[in-house]
Amino acid sequence: MKKRSIFESPITIGGVLAAAIATLCSLAAGAAEFKFASVISDNAVLQRDVEAPVWGFGEPGKKVKVSLNGKAVGETTVGENGRWTVKLPPQKANKRPSTITAEYVGGGAASSAISITNILFGDVWFGCGQSNMAYTFAGYGRLPIGGEEFLKKAEGNPNIRTLLMNDGDNRNSPFPREDAIGIHWETSTYESMRKNGAALYWMGWKLNQALDVPIGLVNASWGATKIDGWIDQKWAKDHGTGHAKGVACFWYNRWTDFMKAGGPEVYEKKIFEWNKRFDPASNFVNTKPSLHDPDFVEDESWKELTIDGRGFQCDPFPEGFTGEVWMRATFELTEADLKKNWSIGYSESYGQDMNYLNGHAFGGSGNPNHGYGVPIKEHGRVGKNVLAVRYKVYAASKEGRPGGMLKPVSIALWPSRAESHEMKFKACIGEQMPKDIWNHPECRKPNDARAINMFSATTMDAGLVHPLYPMAIKGAVWYQGCSDLGNGKYPEFFKTLVEGWRAQFTYKDTLPVIITEICPHQLDTKPNSTQRMANGETNAPTWSVNADMRRQLNELATFLPDCDTISLLDLGEADIHPIRKEEVGERYANWALQHVYGKKVQGSCPQVESVEWKGPKCVIKLRNAKGLKTRDGKPVKGFELGGPVEKGKDKNGKEKEGVVLHFASAKIVGDTIELTCPEVKEAFAFRYAWFDLDCGWNVVNGAGLPLGTCRRYKDGKYHDQLVK
């Protein structure tokens, strides 16, 4: 039997990378349709005791009359932007469903009247943030504790309604949307409740039970998003604070400049011409299958490619080549081959690659010495197989070596390399780019301002929050921070975020904002948090970026008026998504009952009010500290105390000035905590609860609410922690 070489066949490159770019929906599309905004729909809860706005869209210049239960309550004219708004007279809480009707005034047919039904008046709470605000009763692989039992109990309650902004076709947007897409208010069915954020829903349930008024819950949240994604670009560019203002200006100008330059229509023409010059795939845009598909065969004109140490600086490439190349190789595999582990190595490769085995993408890197496991077990075939590579050559290496691959590409058994076979390629080569690739305008692809992702600043607000304005609400809840660990600009963004809400929502008197101190959770560092604890790092004070974010969230309570932080220090797990969501919702509700509704409930967590530095002793006075104790009845745990600034080394071994911290003895005296430590002769700094995972921190008030992560320095300035 003839011995098989897996590189017997030459290669055929192939594939069309069809760049089908969806056309942007015109903002004016449907503007003449007479309708209510999607966030003002059947089953809505509208805010009581305030002139709650209702709004919609119609033909510019038309007069609109709005009626509540058949009684006219206001008139307006549709603006040039196709939008109309009427403020209702303040209404008391009402469980009897209402109907709101809007109709054109004068010259309009009777059919122009539109209505929304089953409307209640009560309190509307807005929840915003990342995955723990979005965490549903269906969970992320783990169900919230008690969730299913709760859903059975709560199902059918006619007085709790939800508006989930992530429903329908809503995601982030490059421009502020005036109307959301495909969403509506929903009543408490099992399915509608199950897809909503559990913590916010539990808050609503407890408020409804305590107040006996309808509750509306508006949830705009998306896992892993950062705070800069939630600021309003139009408002923040004019009124934002610090870095947040600059970010908002960039994204606002990005979109407006794109539209001024002709928008999608002009972009499509520019990208077509750019691709025609520099993207070799553009020569095959009408070809099916695509270049990376194994059945692509139109490679007759492609060049044989030998990789011999000269990179892509010799035939068939132009001299000093910089640009894009598509390469393709075919090889044979047997049944036995499909059971082995293979890798492909790009040793001394100066460029960026994306790889496809039989059309399935894998790898992708710009490192000079890299290799990938080839997914032959998953995507390999007996007989002919196709490896396609899209390779971008940007420039020569820093060491002066030419761009491209300098050593032959091989596929080999991993990790033994007992069998290795060299790849032979055919190549389709794009046009040579100008040598000054980094600065030359021809080398830059035309900007498509629609190209955004979940980490694009301001775009979460633009798609999920902006369509809510000017909705009347009672208050807001913010649960975010896990994706902003290490963000020293967080207070600036938060100030801009909240001031934007307060400028654009409708509310009575003040808009309270409940901030959530994120739970302790494991960080996937090397070593991870659990391993750090097992290694004994917590036997002495150590740095924690997780704790520093918790500290920032707690300090925001004093940063803006009418804001307060609820600590979840005692609910943490290794998982970033703790499943005790009912307790979170209960804390939100109790805070609101105390501070918004004036009920005799202790809803605030203990917080640092002032600090006295008394020689070797530090005395911390707490507010919200009635009944201060430890939750387990054991001595206070988790405080660290440090002396004055001195010279030493920080956590990275750098010589710096800073403070040395030691675990302290802590004693509760009334509403204060007294700290002492034998090593500290003059108290200058303290910290509490400073690690990623819960280390048994136990200070709570009489209601069982925990003291959150905190830190202070005697001179009010930040100082690095030194290591002794």
The strand order across the sheet containing 303-305 reads 303-305, 425-429, 323-333, 383-393, 352-357, 360-365
Q: Write down the pLDDT at residue 320.
A: 75
Q: Write down the pLDDT at residue 450.
A: 93
- Mean pLDDT is lowest, of 30-39, 117-126, 665-674, for 30-39
Q: Write down the pLDDT at residue 198.
A: 98
pLDDT of 113 above 80 = yes
Burial of 662 (0-12, 13-18, 19+ CB in 10 A): middle
Residue 3's pLDDT band, with cuts at 50, 70 and 90, is very low
pLDDT of 278 above 90 = no
Please check whether residue 32 lies inside any domain of the structure.
no
- Cis peptide leading into 280, omega within 30 of 0? no
Please check whether residue 667 lies inside any domain of the structure.
yes
**Residue type at 717 in one-letter notation:** K
Q: Mean pLDDT across the stretch 247-273?
A: 94
Q: Write down the pLDDT at residue 724.
A: 77
pLDDT of 19 above 60 = no
Question: pTM of the prediction?
Answer: 0.82
pLDDT of 301 above 60 = yes
Please check whether residue 307 lies inside any domain of the structure.
yes
pLDDT of 30 above 60 = no
Q: Write down the pLDDT at residue 2.
A: 36
Tens digits of residue pLDDT in 143-166: 999 999 999 999 999 999 999 999
Question: Where is the domain boundary, 395, 429, 463?
Answer: 429
Contacts of 398 (CB under 8 A, 6+ apart): none
pLDDT of 338 above 50 = yes
What CATH number is associated with residue 640? 2.60.40
Query: Domain range for residue 641?
Result: 607-721
Please check whether residue 124 lies inside any domain of the structure.
no
Question: Where is the domain boundary, 374, 396, 429?
Answer: 429
The tokens for 563 are 């804001």
Q: Mean pLDDT across the stretch 428-443?
A: 73
Q: Mean pLDDT across the stretch 4-11?
A: 35
Distance CA 214, CA 204 (A): 9
What is the three-class DSSP state of 433? coil
Residue 37's pLDDT band, with cuts at 50, 70 and 90, is very high
Question: Where is the domain boundary, 384, 401, 429?
Answer: 429
Q: Mean pLDDT across the stretch 576-583?
A: 96
Distance CA 328, CA 292 (A): 8
pLDDT of 688 above 60 = yes
Tell me, what DSSP letter sits at residue 651? Answer: T
Query: Could you write out the DSSP letters of every residue in 371-426?
Result: EEEE-HHHH--SEEEEEEEEEEE----TTSPPSEE-S--EEEETTT--SEEE--EE
Please check whether residue 384 lies inside any domain of the structure.
yes
Tens digits of residue pLDDT in 206-230: 999 999 999 999 999 999 999 999 9
**Residue type at 103 in one-letter notation:** E
**Rounded to 5 degrees, what angle do the CA atoms 661, 667, 670 make?**
130
C-alpha 14 chain-centroid distance: 37
Name the more confident of 323 and 598. Answer: 598
What is the three-class DSSP state of 540? coil
CA distances to 47, 67, 102, 159, 405 from 94, rounded to whole Å, are 11, 17, 21, 10, 73
Q: Write down the pLDDT at residue 12.
A: 31
Mean pLDDT of the chain, nearest integer:
89
What CATH number is associated with residue 425? 2.60.120.260
Tens digits of residue pLDDT in 502-542: 999 999 999 999 999 999 999 999 899 999 999 999 999 99
Please check whether residue 573 lies inside any domain of the structure.
no
Name the more confident of 30 and 686. Answer: 686
Q: What domain count does the chain have?
A: 2
Please check whether residue 648 lies inside any domain of the structure.
yes
Please check whether residue 687 lies inside any domain of the structure.
yes
Q: Write down the pLDDT at residue 430.
A: 85
Q: Mean pLDDT across the stretch 193-218?
A: 98
CA distances to 23, 260, 275, 284, 574 from 269, rounded to whole Å, are 13, 15, 10, 17, 51
Distance CA 361, CA 679 (A): 58
Distance CA 700, CA 631 (A): 6
Residue 371's pLDDT band, with cuts at 50, 70 and 90, is low
